[in-house]
């Protein structure tokens, strides 16, 4: 009989489901050295956030088929090591959705009607009805920043409450926003016109302090902010200052830049509601994630596929080893074409060329989508949810196969239609597995991808390369490699530069001013 190790406390219903197919050992709080010692005897492992599943533990797990995380994040699991070992890693990406959305709505209503302060007032034997005159949300404008699963549910409920909906999400199509009853606007307009602003975004470089002193200055005096998503997306000092000065009406926060919340000016204001990261803390959510993950572990032990794997499900180590270079090629090209085409992608075409055309396309297509969405979703997009995420964003996916042999025996071509127009890239693998970008927008090149890249579209004329090189040098940006692709002499050309350094702010604008440059794009891979 299979054996399952439960290394963190989970709801009993999860244990009962696992017990249908396996011997279940609940051993919580084990130190890493003890886990390494006992893990070889287990076929599956279920945990929450308390256990760290390191490379050492995974390499010792000679029988392990699946690791299940009863929650959303898998940052406490070495997913890469698990994938190399052919171990499926699953989570529960939707188990907390309703709980988090409802908490955001509860915070909005509590903020509007002063519920925490009024409750405390009555408990202090007071009756201060005039002090707690609130505001209705009916006919007010709610600005939803991020229309993923949680943001979409908040929007649906708010719409039923009679609220007008604005939304900002550069990765959602207009058609999807229309379905939700949201008007897509830019961030500045959302800040300026919203009575309530609710955040449903991951913390990334781009979203860190997305609400700051400058954005707060654009808001209405009656604006109220709700954040039940990620700490660090709000400049907490600037928020406290804006509320103290009456620039906005209030805020309700469930997440913070540093948790637990230390000494903070946020505690000083009556019209700021603070809760200790309770978004997913409902009895139902705890049961949901336990059931979801336990069922997936049960299915895998029975030889069935998992529905929410965060790595490639169902691939044996030998197949994984064969496919890995092509999946990496697809992810890289998807990431590249997504940045060239712009954030709001409408269509992605994936064409497997040459000998690759005879390969089963689904894993390569999914890897391409994962790369395409990686700038928006970061670690939240994986090989299982990538296609679903694309569908929810209104992105049309087209898969084609072309057995014609071009410069390489097999290659991959991606084309994307986005907010910056239609762009295409082609790539191939060298004999040693190294990735080469072989074409950009129909212009032949041959460059390896790098962390920082600059692409220009320009007129093929003397002096262009020198001007760009001098301009980059004046900003202390080092060029690692450079190549120009053209179709005819003195016609249009594409220049691809691999850089050792990111472009300083304002430099891209200076590059576009160079005589002969038609357009320029920066890419971070």
pLDDT at 409 over 90: no
Mean of the per-residue pLDDT values of the chain: 91
Q: Quick one: pLDDT at residue 487? A: 87
Question: What does the block give as tokens for 156?
Answer: 């649906």
Contact status, residue 69 vs residue 89, Cβ threshold 8 Å: yes
SS3 for 392-447 is HCCCEEEEEEECCCCCCCEEEEEEEEECCEEEEEEEEECCCCCEEEEEECCEEEEE
Q: Quick one: pLDDT at residue 310? A: 83
Beta strands, E only, 159-274: 164-168, 183-184, 196-199, 224-227, 250-253, 272-274
Q: Is 517 helix (H, G, I), strand (E, B) or coil?
A: strand
pLDDT at 319 over 60: no
Distance between CA atoms of residues 256 and 108, nearest Å: 17
Match 């900003």 to its residue by tokens.
Answer: 475
> Peptide bond preceding 66: is omega within 30 degrees of 0, i.e. cis?
no
Q: Quick one: pLDDT at residue 233? A: 95
Residue 309 has phi, psi (to 5 degrees) of -75, 140
* Residues labelled catalytic: 230, 259, 277
CB atoms closer than 10 angstroms to residue 383: 21
Contact status, residue 90 vs residue 310, Cβ threshold 8 Å: yes
pLDDT at 221 over 60: yes
Contact status, residue 424 vs residue 413, Cβ threshold 8 Å: yes
Q: First and final CA of the chain: distance in angstroms?
A: 45
pLDDT at 315 over 60: no
Distances in whole angstroms, Cα of residue 316 to Cα of each of 43, 65, 85, 102, 319: 15, 10, 9, 40, 5
Mean pLDDT, residues 7-21? 96
Contact status, residue 51 vs residue 76, Cβ threshold 8 Å: yes
Residue 321 has phi, psi (to 5 degrees) of -60, -40
Distance between CA atoms of residues 103 and 107, nearest Å: 6
Q: Quick one: pLDDT at residue 313? A: 54
Pairing of strands 224-227, 196-199: parallel
Q: Quick one: pLDDT at residue 81? A: 87
Q: Quick one: pLDDT at residue 196? A: 98
Give every strand in the sheet of 272-274, ordered side by side: 183-184, 164-168, 141-145, 196-199, 224-227, 250-253, 272-274
pLDDT digits (tens, 9 = 90+) for 268-289: 998 999 999 999 889 999 999 9
Distances in whole angstroms, Cα of residue 330 to Cα of each of 121, 324, 393, 415: 59, 10, 20, 12
CB atoms closer than 10 angstroms to residue 505: 7
DSSP state of 510: H
Q: Is 77 helix (H, G, I), strand (E, B) or coil?
A: strand
CB atoms closer than 10 angstroms to residue 410: 19
pLDDT at 457 over 60: yes
71 pLDDT tier (thresholds 50, 70, 90): confident
pLDDT at 42 over 90: yes
pLDDT digits (tens, 9 = 90+) for 87-135: 889 998 788 899 999 999 999 999 999 999 999 999 999 999 999 999 9
Angle at alpha carbon of residue 118, lines to 114 and 123, rounded to 5°: 155
Give burial (CB, 10 Å; 0-12/13-18/19+) of 45. buried
Please name which of 389, 346, 175, 251 lies closest in space to residue 167, comparing C-alpha atoms.
175
Mean pLDDT, residues 35-62? 95
The whole-angstrom distance between residue 10's C-alpha and the CA centroid of its chain comes to: 26
Distance between CA atoms of residues 384 and 91, nearest Å: 11
Q: Quick one: pLDDT at residue 312? A: 67
DSSP state of 359: S
pLDDT digits (tens, 9 = 90+) for 148-176: 889 999 999 999 999 999 999 988 888 99
Contact status, residue 371 vs residue 334, Cβ threshold 8 Å: yes
Mean pLDDT, residues 461-484? 91
Angle at alpha carbon of residue 295, lines to 294 and 296, rounded to 5°: 90
Mean pLDDT, residues 183-212? 95
pLDDT digits (tens, 9 = 90+) for 333-391: 999 999 999 878 999 999 999 999 988 888 899 899 999 998 888 766 777 578 878 88
0.75 exceeded by the pTM? no
């Amino acid at each position: 009989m299979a054996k399952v190790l439960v290394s963190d406390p989970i709801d009993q219903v999860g244990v009962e489901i696992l017990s249908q197919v396996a011997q279940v050992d609940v051993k919580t709080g084990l130190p890493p050295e003890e886990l390494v010692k006992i893990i070889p005897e287990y076929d599956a492992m279920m945990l929450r956030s308390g256990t760290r599943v390191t490379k050492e533990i995974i390499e010792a797990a000679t029988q392990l088929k699946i690791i299940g995380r009863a929650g959303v994040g898998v940052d406490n699991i070495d997913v890469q090591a698990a994938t190399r070992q052919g171990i499926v890693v699953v989570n529960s990406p939707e188990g907390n959705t309703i709980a988090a959305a409802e908490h955001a709505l509860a915070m909005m209503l509590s903020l509007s009607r002063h519920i925490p302060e009024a409750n405390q007032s009555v408990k202090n034997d007071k009756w201060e009805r005039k002090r707690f005159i609130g505001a209705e949300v009916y006919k007010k404008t709610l600005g939803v920043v991020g229309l993923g699963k949680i943001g979409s549910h908040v929007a649906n409920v708010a719409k039923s409450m009679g609220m007008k909906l604005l939304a900002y999400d550069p990765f959602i199509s207009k058609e999807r926003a229309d379905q939700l009853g949201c008007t897509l606007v830019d961030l500045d307009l959302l800040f300026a016109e919203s009575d309530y602003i609710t955040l449903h975004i991951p913390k990334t470089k781009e979203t860190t302090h997305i609400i700051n002193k400058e954005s707060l200055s654009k808001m209405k005096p009656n604006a109220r902010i709700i954040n039940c998503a990620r700490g660090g997306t709000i400049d907490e000092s600037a928020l406290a200052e804006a509320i103290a000065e009456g620039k906005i009406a209030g805020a309700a926060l469930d997440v913070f830049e540093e948790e637990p919340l230390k000494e903070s000016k946020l505690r000083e204001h009556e019209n700021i509601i603070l809760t200790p990261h309770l978004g997913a803390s409902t009895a139902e959510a705890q049961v949901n994630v336990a059931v979801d993950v336990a069922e997936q572990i049960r299915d895998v032990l029975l030889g069935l596929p998992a529905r929410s794997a965060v790595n490639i499900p169902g691939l044996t180590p030998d197949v994984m080893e064969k496919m890995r270079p092509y999946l990496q090629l697809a992810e890289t090209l998807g990431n590249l074409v997504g940045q060239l085409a712009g954030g709001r992608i409408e269509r992605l075409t994936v064409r497997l060329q040459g000998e690759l055309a005879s390969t089963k396309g689904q894993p390569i297509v999914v890897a391409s989508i994962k790369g395409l969405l990686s700038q928006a979703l970061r670690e939240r997009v994986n090989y299982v949810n990538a296609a679903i995420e694309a569908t929810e964003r209104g992105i049309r996916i087209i898969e084609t196969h072309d057995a014609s042999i071009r410069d390489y025996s097999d290659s991959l071509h991606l084309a994307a239609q986005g907010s910056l127009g239609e762009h295409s890239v082609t790539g191939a693998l060298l004999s040693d597995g190294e990735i080469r970008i072989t074409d950009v927008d129909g212009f032949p090149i041959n460059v390896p991808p790098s962390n920082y890249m600059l692409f220009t579209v320009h007129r093929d004329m003397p002096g262009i390369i020198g001007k760009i090189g001098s301009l980059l040098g004046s900003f202390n940006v080092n060029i690692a490699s450079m190549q120009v692709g053209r179709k005819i002499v003195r016609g249009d050309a594409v220049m691809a530069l691999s850089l050792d350094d990111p472009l300083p702010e304002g430099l891209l604008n200076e590059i576009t001013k160079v005589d002969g440059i038609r357009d320029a794009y920066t890419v971070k891979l």
